[in-house]
Amino acid sequence: MLKACLQSFASGSVNLITADPVEMPSGKDAAYENFPVGSVLLPKGLRRHVACFYAFARAADDIADSPDLSPQEKNQRLEGFQNVLLGKGSNDRACQNALNMAESLNDTGVSPQHCLDILAAFRQDAVKSRYDSWSELMAYCRLSAAPVGRYLIDLHGGCRLGYWPSDALCAALQLINHVQDCGDDYRTLGRVYLPGDWMSDAGAVFADLGAAQVSPALRRVLDWMAHGIDTLLLDAGSLSGNLYSSRLGFEASVIFQIARALNSKLKKHDPLSRRIELSKPELLVCSIRGLLSR
């Protein structure tokens, strides 16, 4: 819990290290994500820690998403990440990003729980490919998305409202990503991050996700997803003004505007025919709106 609208990695950031045989780099990086990763809006001294957290999460996510590994192999490698993170066993250089993350946590005093929650989500990805309801999907987001915002909040000194508005924003971003990639997730990994009961209610079947275009039934499900995301964004609207770090507040405000614009675009376009993204001018508009509204 990661599309850059501003400069992603500043000088001195930690790059994703590809160390065989544990890590399985997918080629995805910060530019793939729906939000800026360690942008220039954040304090310079903290950007390397944000970059380290992203590299850790990306490396673990790539293991969980690898089509070449069995579920057992994925879980073994993710367990290796967890052991290194907690300082158990030898300092395995094949888990370099976990070693970097452990060092970063030690330097900043941030709890390792956020990283452990992310690893739990990826272990779930290794064995679970369907979600029966919206509430079950939200429980997954609590592990896969919420820790990203919670880590950033802890790193930057806290939020007056606690974690809940950040959890809502991170869940919205996660679900937007699931809608963007719904066809690819189904075709390459057999995963469906859409509520099964909504699929049944709409008369949609999982095979609809393998088509070249969205069917009317699947469109209904995606519209319900968009409505749920809008509801989450209502809760997320209070985040930026209640962060103790004004710089993180500016970044959160930009990310909030990106989420709103992406969800609006997903309501109008077909994510099966192409991945729905924001253009550079659209990202610039979101950045300006976010900075001004903050």
Q: Is it the case that residue 24 has pLDDT exceeding 80?
A: no
131 bridge partner residues: 195
Amino acid identity of residue 29, one-letter, is D
Mean pLDDT of the residues in the chain: 89
Mean pLDDT, range 39-48, rounded to an integer? 91
Class of residue 167 by CB neighbours under 10 A (exposed 0-12, middle 13-18, buried 19+): buried
Stretch 258-287: mean pLDDT: 96
pLDDT at residue 92, rounded to an integer: 62
Region 30-42 average pLDDT: 65
Confidence of residue 35 (pLDDT cuts 50, 70, 90): low
The predicted pLDDT at position 293 comes to 87
- Between 14 and 232, the more confident residue is 232
pLDDT tens digits for range 86-125: 988 656 666 899 999 999 999 999 999 999 999 999 999 9
Residue ranges of the chain that CATH labels 1.10.600.10: 130-294
**Cα–Cα distance for residue pair 160/21, rounded to 1 Å:** 43
Which sign does the torsion angle of CA 157, 229, 136, 81 carry?
Answer: negative
Query: CA-to-CA distance for 123 and 111, rounded, in angstroms?
Result: 20
Contacts of 118 (CB under 8 A, 6+ apart): 1, 57, 60, 143, 144, 147, 148
CB burial of residue 67 (10 Å; 0-12, 13-18, 19+): exposed
pLDDT digits (tens, 9 = 90+) for 280-289: 999 999 999 9
Question: Which amino acid is it at 194?
Answer: L
Question: Over the stretch 205-231, which tens digit does the pLDDT of each residue have?
Answer: 999 999 999 999 999 999 999 999 999
Looking at residue 95, what is its pLDDT? Answer: 85
**Is residue 100 within 8 Å of 14, Cβ to Cβ?**
yes
Q: State the virtual CA torsion across 198, 172, 177, 195 in degrees, nearest 10.
A: -20
| Amino acid letter, 275 | R
CATH architecture designation of domain 130-294: Orthogonal Bundle (1.10)
Task: Kindly give the residue spans of alpha helices, DSSP state H, lying in the chain.
Answer: 44-65, 71-85, 96-108, 113-127, 134-144, 146-155, 164-180, 182-184, 196-202, 216-236, 246-268, 280-293
- Residues of the chain with pLDDT > 90, as a percent, come to 82
As a whole number of angstroms, the distance between CA 84 and CA 90 comes to 8
Burial (Cβ within 10 Å: 0-12, 13-18, ≥19) of residue 45: exposed
Q: What is the pLDDT of residue 177?
A: 96
What confidence tier does 39 reach under pLDDT thresholds 50, 70, 90? confident
Phi and psi, residue 159, nearest 5°: -140, 140
pLDDT of residue 19 exceeding 50, the answer is: no
The C-alpha atoms of residue 167 and residue 13 are separated, in whole angstroms, by 25
Contact assessment for residue 111 and residue 101, using Cβ atoms and an 8 Å cutoff: no
Residue in the structure block whose two tokens are 């930690």: 14
Residue 253 pLDDT exceeds 50? yes
Report whether the peptide linkage leading into residue 43 is cis, meaning its omega lies within 30 degrees of zero. Answer: no
